[in-house]
Structure 1
C-alpha cells in the first residue's frame, strides 16, 4: 500500500495550482472587484452567480449553497475524488513530483483507481494516435480523407486507430506497467483479455481539463463482429456518458468568451465545425443530449439572465431530427441562454455540408439559426391545413400549450404574436387560447379534408347538422328554398357552387338537387314546382350510403316553414348571402396566406395573392349589395 503524500509536496501543490485556472476549467468566471471572480455555482442550480473565487487567498465559496474550500477541495467535490487523487491530479498539471512516505516502486499503480484509469486512458490515446500512421490503418485514413480531414486535422483532434489483432493495446499497456484489473476498470480491455476496441477509428473523449475519459470508435470493416456503427467506452469510474461532451476540451474557452455553444450530433460534425471556424461545437457521446449536459454548458457559459448567451442545436431535417428537437424542447428549462435550432434545408449534417460546400457553409448554417420554440411550433402546425378556417383553429389549439410552457413569462406575449402570424389568426384570439392552454398539454385535431367539387359527400346520421346552428342558417335556408321553391331559381341556380356549402350534409342535398334537375324530362325544376314529385326526385338522387339520415334531412327541409313568402327577388338575395359568406371565407384564407408569406423572399407569389385579394374584395362589395337588394 502506498504511504501518505509528503506534507511539503501538498503545500507546494496548493501554492502552484492557481485556483482560478482550475475552477475556470469548469466554470466561466468574471471579475467581481476587490481581486475576486464570480460565476454560477457548479454544485447547485442557480441563475444569479453567487459562487466566488479569490485567487490571492486560494479559496472559493458559494454564498448560495455554502460550499467552499481550497483548490484541492474544489477538485475533490467537482470530480468526486479522494484527497490523494485530487492532489495527484493537480501535481500532474503543475509538474510536481510527489513523494510518499514508505513509498515503493509499485506504489504508483496502487494509488486511487480513478488516477490509474486516467493514466491508462492517456497512454492508450497516445498509442492509438500512433497506430493511425501504420500501414494497417489505411482504411481508417481513407475514411478520414473521404470526410475531408487531413493528417493535421487528425492530429489536432487526437484521432487514432485500434488494430484488428485484438490484443495489441493490452500488451502495450501491460508493458508500461498497467495491471489487467485497471485496464478492465478503464474499459480498455475486456475481462477475457481482448482489447475493447478492434479495427475501429477512434476519437478520445476528454473533459474540460483535457484528461482522457474514454473513447468513441467507428466501424470500418464489414466483417466487424460488432454491428454497431459507433461504439463508445462502457461506463467507468471516470466516464459517464450523460456527463461528457466530445470537443469540450477544445471549445471550453470559446464557449465562455462567446457565451455560445453549438451542439452537433457526431464526432466528425465536431471536427468539421471547429475546422470551419465554429469553435464552440460539442457533441454528446452515445446518448441523447440531456439535463446534465445542459447544466454543464450553462456553467461554462456563465449566463446571468434569459437574454444572454445562446445554445444552438443542429439537427437533421427528417423525422428523427424533429423528435430530437422536441426532446430538447422538453428540457429547455435547463438553459438560461436562448435556445436555437440550425437545420440545413438539404438535410446535410455539418460534416457533409463542409465537404460539399466548404467552411463558409457551416458558419452560415449556424448563423441562420432560428429559435427552438419557433421550430417546434412550425413542426406542430405543419400537420394542419392552414388554408381552412377549421385547420387554423386546430393548429392554434395544438400549439398554444407550447407557448404557454415557455419558462420566461416575458416572452410569452411575443411568441403568441409570432404564432398568430405563422397561422394567420388574430393575435388576441391566440393570446386567449394560450391563456386557456396553461397547464394543458398539446392537442392534435384531425385535418379537415375537402370533398371533390363534383363528388357528393356521404353523410352518416351522426353528422347531420343542428337545425339551430346560426352559423349554418344561410346554408339551411338555401336548401329549403331549393326543395320547396325550385321554380324561383334561374337555370344556373343563381350561380351557387358546391363550395358554398361548408357542412357535408347541406353539400349532399345540393348535389342531390342538381342530380334531380338533370334527371327531369325538360331539364328544369319548374315542371315539379316543388311538389311531392320533386321532393321524391331529390331523395332518390342522394348518394349511395347516406341511407335514412339524408332522407330525414330532406324531409325536414321540405316541411319546415320559410321565414317569408318567397319570390324570385328573395331567392336572388338569399343566394347572394350564401355566395357572400363563401367570398368572405376566401378573403380570410387569402389574408392568412399573405400573413404567412414573406413579401421579399416570395415577391411574385405575394403580389399575385394581393391582386387576387383585390378581386375578392370587389366581389364581396358586389355580393353584399345584392344580398340586401341594392342594385
Structure 2
C-alpha cells in the first residue's frame, strides 16, 4: 500500500498551483471585483455566474450549490479523483517530487487509477506519433497529404499511426511498466485468445483530450480495404473516457472560445484540423456521438452564457446533416448563446471546402448567417404542401410545437410571427396564440419545472443588459435552530465579522479571538466561529492566510460547515472601505448585541422568579446587570477602543 503523502509536500503543491489557473482549464473566469473571479459553476446548471474564485486565498465557492474548497478540492470533484490522485496530478504539473510517510519517492505503482490510465494514453500517443514516421505508415501520411495536412499539421494535432500487428502497442506499454489489467481498463488493448492485443491496428490515430488537456482516448480512422471494422473506431467507455462528455479539439480551442465568445461545432477530426489551420481556432467536434446535453455544459462554461456569445453548427447538406441540425435545435434552448447553422456550398465539409477553395472559404463559412431555429423551422415546413389548407395546417401544428419550447416569451412571439410567414398564414396573431396555447399546455403537464440554464433569465435572449445580482447565500441545512435571515441586522453583522476573521484577520485580531461561540446567534455562524477557534484563532491567519484557511476548513465537522467557510472566505464585503474602522464597527455591534442579550436574560430571570429569588442571588444579578450596562455604554461611546 502507498504511504501517506508528506504534509509539507501537500502544502507545497497547494501553494505552487494557482487555483485560478486550474479552474480556467474548465471554465471561463471574469473579474468579480474585490480580487475575485467569477464563472458558470461546473457542478450544477445555472444561467448567471454564481461560482467565485479567490486567487489570493486559493479558494473557490459556488453561492448556488454551495460547493467550495481549495485547488485540491476542485480537482477532486471535477475529475472524480481521490485526494492522493489529485495531489499527484498537481505535483506533476508543478514539477514537485512527492514524499510518502513510509518512505520512497512517487513510485509508479502508488499512483491512482486515473493517473495511471492517463499516463498510459500519453505513452500510447507518443508511440503512435513515432509510428507515423515508419515505412508502414506511408498510407496514413498519404491520407493526410490528400486532405491538405502536412507533417507540421500532423505534429500540431499529435496525429499518429497504429501498426497493423496484433500487439505492438501492448508490448510497448508492458515494457513501460503497465499491467495487462491497466491496458484492458484503458481501452488501449482488448482481450485476445492468448492475452491482450491492440485495440487499434493499421489506423490513423487522433488523440482525444479532456478540457484539462489530458489524453483520455483515441479516434481511429481505417486506411485499408481489408480492414473489416467501422470507418471510425473510438475508445470504448472507460473510467476516464465518456464519449458524451468529450469534445475533440477542446484542449486547443478552449482559450479562443472563451476569448471570442464563439464556438464552431464541426463533424469530424479532419474538419477540426482544417478549421484551425484556416484560422478558425474555436472549432471542436463530438467523438462518435451526437452533440448533446453534456457537450452543451462544457461550452456554456467556456462561453459564460453571455447574450453576445455564438455557437455555429456546421453540418453536411445531406439528409443526415439536416437530421443532425434538427437534433441540435432540440437542445438550442439550453444555450444562452445565439445558435446558427452553416452549410457549405455543394454540401462540402470544412476539410473538403479548404481543399477546394482555400482557407478564406472556411473562415467565410463559419460567419453566422442562418439562425438554427430558422433553419429547423424551414426544414419542418418544407416537408408539407403549403399550397393546400391541410398542408399549411399540418405544417403549423408540427412547427408550432417546436416554437412553443422557446422559454423566453418575447423570443417565442418573434419566432411565431416568422413561422406565420413561412407557412403562409396572414393572421399572425392566430399563430402567436396557437404557440402560446401549446406552451401553456406543456407547462400544465409538468413539462416546465423552471428555467435551469435556459434563456428565461437576465442572461437570455430576451434581456441582454443588466449585471447579475449578488447571489443570496443559501441556508445551511445541516444545522439545528432558526434559519439564517440576512435581513436580520444581527445575522448580517455576524456574517461580516466572520468574513473579516477569515479574509482579513489582521483587522480583527486579537479582539476577535476573545469572542465566545455563544456571541454568534445563528447556529451556522457559531459553527464557523468554533472552527476558527480550533484552528488556533484568527491571529493565525496574519502570518499565512492560506494555511490558516486550510486549517479552518479541516476543523469543520462536515461538508455543510466546510462549504460555509469557503463561502465566507470568498464573499465580498458590504462596506466600500474595509479598514480598521469598518472592522471595529462589526466587532462592536456583535459584542453589543451579545451584552444586550445577556442583560435581557438576567432581567428576564429575575422577573420570572419574582419574590422567590434569594437576596444574595438578587444582589449578584443586579450587580451583573449594572456592570453589563456600564460596558454597553462604554462600547457605544468609545467603540472598538473599549473592547
TM bucket by the smaller chain? 0.5 to 0.7
Q: Tell me, in whole angstroms, the C-alpha distance in 1 between the residues paired with 2:363 and 2:418.
A: 26
Does the aligned pair in 2 maintain the 1:109–1:178 contact within 8 Å? no
Does the aligned pair in 2 maintain the 1:205–1:246 contact within 8 Å? yes
Aligned residues: 438
Q: Does 1:155 align with 2:155?
A: yes
Deviation at 1:383, TM superposition (A): 1.6
Q: Tell me, in whole angstroms, the C-alpha distance in 1 between the residues paired with 2:334 and 2:394.
A: 30
Deviation at 1:261, TM superposition (A): 1.1
Q: Tell me, in whole angstroms, the C-alpha distance in 2 between the residues paired with 1:330 and 1:423.
A: 20
Structure 1 residues 45-54 or 432-441, which shifts more? 432-441
- The aligned residue for residue 356 of structure 1 is 356
Q: Does 1:267 align with 2:269?
A: yes
Q: Does 1:433 align with 2:434?
A: yes
- The aligned residue for residue 611 of structure 1 is none
Matches for 1:186-585 after TM superposition, within 5 Å? 186-191=186-191, 192-224=195-227, 226-304=228-306, 307-426=307-426, 427-438=428-439
Does the aligned pair in 1 maintain the 2:38–2:53 contact within 8 Å? yes
Does the aligned pair in 2 maintain the 1:396–1:433 contact within 8 Å? no
Structure 1 residues 96-105 or 361-370, which shifts more? 96-105
Q: Tell me, in whole angstroms, the C-alpha distance in 1 between the residues paired with 2:430 and 2:50.
A: 42
- The aligned residue for residue 475 of structure 2 is none
- The aligned residue for residue 41 of structure 1 is 41
Does the aligned pair in 1 maintain the 2:100–2:106 contact within 8 Å? no
Deviation at 1:394, TM superposition (A): 3.6
Q: Tell me, in whole angstroms, the C-alpha distance in 2 between the residues paired with 1:55 and 1:106.
A: 28
Structure 1 residue ranges without an equivalent (≥5): 442-631
Does the aligned pair in 2 maintain the 1:241–1:287 contact within 8 Å? yes
Q: Which has the larger radius of gyration?
A: 1
Q: Tell me, in whole angstroms, the C-alpha distance in 2 between the residues paired with 1:346 and 1:353.
A: 9
Q: Tell me, in whole angstroms, the C-alpha distance in 2 between the residues paired with 1:439 and 1:353.
A: 44
Partner of 2:190, secondary structure, is: coil
Q: Tell me, in whole angstroms, the C-alpha distance in 2 between the residues paired with 1:107 and 1:15.
A: 23
Does the aligned pair in 1 maintain the 2:88–2:111 contact within 8 Å? no
- The aligned residue for residue 115 of structure 2 is 115
Partner of 1:38, secondary structure, is: strand
Partner of 2:96, secondary structure, is: coil
Structure 2 residue ranges without an equivalent (≥5): 443-643
Q: Name the CA shift for 1:354/1:434 in 2 (closer, same or farther; >3 Å).
A: same
Deviation at 1:366, TM superposition (A): 0.9
Does the aligned pair in 2 maintain the 1:121–1:212 contact within 8 Å? yes
- The aligned residue for residue 569 of structure 1 is none
Does the aligned pair in 2 maintain the 1:264–1:313 contact within 8 Å? yes
Q: Does 1:68 align with 2:68?
A: yes
Structure number with the bigger relative contact order (C-alpha 8 A, sep ≥ 6) is 2
Partner of 2:153, secondary structure, is: helix
Deviation at 1:47, TM superposition (A): 0.5
Does the aligned pair in 1 maintain the 2:98–2:106 contact within 8 Å? no
Partner of 1:263, secondary structure, is: strand
- The aligned residue for residue 539 of structure 1 is none
Deviation at 1:396, TM superposition (A): 2.7
- The aligned residue for residue 566 of structure 1 is none
Partner of 1:203, secondary structure, is: strand
Q: Name the CA shift for 1:237/1:68 in 2 (closer, same or farther; >3 Å).
A: same
1:306-330 CA deviation, whole Å, 9 max, x = no partner?
Answer: x331121111112111221222122
Q: Name the CA shift for 1:315/1:171 in 2 (closer, same or farther; >3 Å).
A: same
1:483-532 CA deviation, whole Å, 9 max, x = no partner?
Answer: xxxxxxxxxxxxxxxxxxxxxxxxxxxxxxxxxxxxxxxxxxxxxxxxxx
Q: Tell me, in whole angstroms, the C-alpha distance in 2 between the residues paired with 1:103 and 1:196.
A: 38
1:113-166 CA deviation, whole Å, 9 max, x = no partner?
Answer: 111001111111111111111111000000001111111110000000000112
Partner of 2:216, secondary structure, is: strand
Does the aligned pair in 1 maintain the 2:99–2:106 contact within 8 Å? no
- The aligned residue for residue 78 of structure 2 is 78
Does the aligned pair in 2 maintain the 1:130–1:160 contact within 8 Å? yes
Does the aligned pair in 1 maintain the 2:266–2:284 contact within 8 Å? yes
Does the aligned pair in 2 maintain the 1:401–1:439 contact within 8 Å? no
Partner of 1:373, secondary structure, is: helix
Q: CA RMSD in A?
A: 1.7
1:315-360 CA deviation, whole Å, 9 max, x = no partner?
Answer: 1112111221222122223212122111124111111111111111
Partner of 2:346, secondary structure, is: coil
Q: Name the CA shift for 1:103/1:236 in 2 (closer, same or farther; >3 Å).
A: farther
Partner of 2:60, secondary structure, is: strand
Q: Tell me, in whole angstroms, the C-alpha distance in 2 between the residues paired with 1:61 and 1:274.
A: 35
- The aligned residue for residue 546 of structure 1 is none
Does the aligned pair in 2 maintain the 1:132–1:160 contact within 8 Å? yes
Q: Tell me, in whole angstroms, the C-alpha distance in 2 between the residues paired with 1:103 and 1:138.
A: 49
Deviation at 1:422, TM superposition (A): 2.3
- The aligned residue for residue 485 of structure 1 is none
Q: Tell me, in whole angstroms, the C-alpha distance in 1 between the residues paired with 2:420 and 2:105.
A: 73
Deviation at 1:231, TM superposition (A): 0.5
Partner of 1:47, secondary structure, is: coil
Q: Tell me, in whole angstroms, the C-alpha distance in 2 between the residues paired with 1:154 and 1:358.
A: 18
TM (norm. structure 1) is 0.67
- The aligned residue for residue 175 of structure 1 is 175
